[in-house]
Amino acid sequence: MSKRALVTGAGGFVGKYLTKHLQNCGWEVLGCDMVPHIGVQVCNLLNKQETENFLKSIGPVSHVFHLSAISFVPQSMQDPLTCFQTNTDSVVGLAHLLNKHYGEKTSFIFISTSEVYGPPHYLPIDEQHPLNPQNPYAISKLSSDLYCQYLNKKGVLFTTIIRPFNHSGAGQNEQFVLSSFAKQFIEIKKGIKKPFLHVGNIDVERDFLHVLDVVWAYELLAQKEANGEVYNLCSGKSHSLKQIIELLQVITGIEVEICVDSERTRTNDIQRIYGSHEKLRKIIQWEPKHNIKDILTDLLNYWSERIESTT
C-alpha cells in the first residue's frame, strides 16, 4: 500500500500542519475530528459504531497519526473525566477497531507528551527518565502511552510513541503561553490595549519547538519500522519566559510593563525543563530548523493579520 494516512484531530492546531506536510511529501491523507472543518470528516472516536462506520468508509490506511486529544492542562484539571475519555478511552477503542478492520500491520503513531516525566530528576530529560505525571492531562496521556507499547508487544498494532515537548507557531490558541504573549504584543502595537503584559511565572524555563519541525519529525518517524519505541521530540535547550518577553520587545520595538496575574500562575511550577533528542536524531537524522525567534515572528505575524481582520 502506498503512503495512505489517517490523521485524527486533523482540524486542530498541529493536525492542520501535519495534514499539509504529509500531502506535500506525497501522502494521501484522510482526516477526522470531533467538530466540522473543511476537508475533514466528523467522527466521535468515543462512539464505537460511528468510528467503525468511518473506518469502513475510508478503507485501509498504512498509518494512523493519533493527535486527537484534550491538551490544555487547566482544562484537564477542571474536567478530568472528559480528559480521560478523550485521551485514553478513545485510544483503546480506536486501536482495536484498527486491528479489526485493517490488521495488525497498521502503523499507529501515538502523540504522547513530555508531561509524563513530571519534575526532572536530571537534565536533559531522556527516554529513560522516571515517569511521574503531575496532572490529569499527563496521567491520561501516560496511560495511552503505555497501552500503545503494550499493543506492539502483543502484536495488535505496530506502534510508535512520540513525547513532544512544548511547541508553538502561527494558529496556536491563545490559551498557550507564547501565543498569549504574541497576541498581547500585537494588541498593544495596534493601540487596542495599554502596554501591560499579563503573565504568570516568567522565571520558568521551557523547551520550545516550532510546529513545522514537529510535524516534519512525525513524518520521518512514521517511515521507520514501528516497534513500540518511545522518542522524545524537543529542541534540547531551554528558554525562560523572561527571555522570550525580552526578545518580543526587541522584535516589535515595544516596551511593556509586566503584570503578574495569579490566574495565569500554576502552583508548584517546575523551574527548568529541557529534553534530549539524541535517540530521535540517531534514527531519523533530525535537527530543528527553526529557532525561538522564528516561532515568535510567526506568532506575531499571525496575530497581526487576525486582529487586523476582526477590528
Per-residue pLDDT reduced to its tens digit, 101-144: 999 999 999 999 999 999 999 999 999 999 999 999 999 999 99
Over residues 203-226, the mean pLDDT reads 96
- Among 218, 233, 248, which residue terminates a domain? 233
Place of cell 476537508: 39
Question: Do 16 and 84 reside in the same domain of the chain?
Answer: yes
Question: Do 197 and 294 reside in the same domain of the chain?
Answer: yes
Q: Give the 3-state DSSP-derived string for 192-234, with helices as H, strands as E and coil as C.
A: CCCCEEEECCCCCEECEEEHHHHHHHHHHHHCCCCCCCEEEEC
| pTM of structure | 0.94
d(CA 53, CA 47): 10
Question: Do 88 and 130 reside in the same domain of the chain?
Answer: yes
Which grid cell is 279? Answer: 535517540
DSSP state of 86: I
Which grid cell is 170? Answer: 502561527
Which pLDDT score, from 0 to 100, does residue 71 have? Answer: 82
Please, what's the b/e burial string for 138-157 (b: 16 or more CB within 10 A of its CB; e: otherwise)?
A: bbbbbbbbebbbebbeeebb
In the chain, what is the straight-line distance between the N-terminal and C-terminal CA atoms, in Å? 49
Residue 267 belongs to what domain range?
A: 172-206+237-273+290-310
Say whether pLDDT at 268 is over 70: no
Domain harbouring 18, CATH code? 3.40.50.720
d(CA 210, CA 188): 24
Q: Tell me how many domains the chain contains.
A: 2
Query: Is 268 inside a domain boundary?
Result: yes
Which grid cell is 83? Answer: 480528559
